[in-house]
Amino acid sequence: MRLDAFVSRFGRFSRSESRRIIRNNGVSLNGVLTNNPSEVVDETDTVIVDGRPLEAFWNVYIALNKPEGYVCSRERSEGRSVFELIDANFSADLSTGGRLDKDATGLLILSNDGKFIHEVISPRKLVEKEYLVETAKEITKKEISMISQGLFIGNNEFSKPTHVEQIDHFHMRIVLTEGRYHEVKRLVSASGNKVIQLHRRRIGSYCLSEELRPGDWQLLSENDRKKITGT
């Protein structure tokens, strides 16, 4: 990576600002001042801008246990954002791999790797998402049968889970490979019931760690990522 691109990305400057700072001898590379924006930099180099070391990051992959009351958006008017929970210099570069509603909880994947995010959310990739659902009314066998067979959920959209399982009178497990807007809520509503609590437990074969408290996050290993996408 060129030095001006490095300073721009990790110092939060525009590309023109980073070039100006470098040419004004405001940047040192491995302890030596440089005014050459085209210097090549990699992850082993130390870059300091106006006395401040830049903390480099490359591709980042995160699992967050989303708490209730947070939105998967950066729009402040919508409420507290899940990105506020990622107190790290790479937070501004992250995107979510499948959103959860404000009142929903559970596993949320975030990354700055666009290809990875696409593999997580693309319906063509058939990545399973498992949800634990609590309903307002007692679940009937008819509702389970209707959901299993698939239902029209509005806007001429048809939703058919890959797996539906009743856990007890008021709880069921639903597994989907798509991520339509409010899909689980609309699916349960189309069966004649209502979701009062929604929790995402699994994406692919990667399960939310029971040790990860609501609001906490952890970096994903390469093996974890393979569990999510299957590749």
User: Domains of the chain (ranges plus CATH)?
Assistant: 3-53 (3.10.290.10), 61-229 (3.30.2350.10)
Among residues 93, 101, 103, 224, the one annotated as catalytic is: 101
| Integer angstrom CA distances of residue 1 from 12, 17, 38, 43, 197 | 16, 17, 9, 9, 46
Known catalytic residue: 224? no
pLDDT, tens only, 15-73: 999 999 999 989 999 999 999 999 999 878 999 999 999 988 889 999 999 999 999 99
When pLDDT is cut at 50, 70 and 90, the band that residue 89 belongs to is confident
Q: pTM (2 decimals)?
A: 0.84
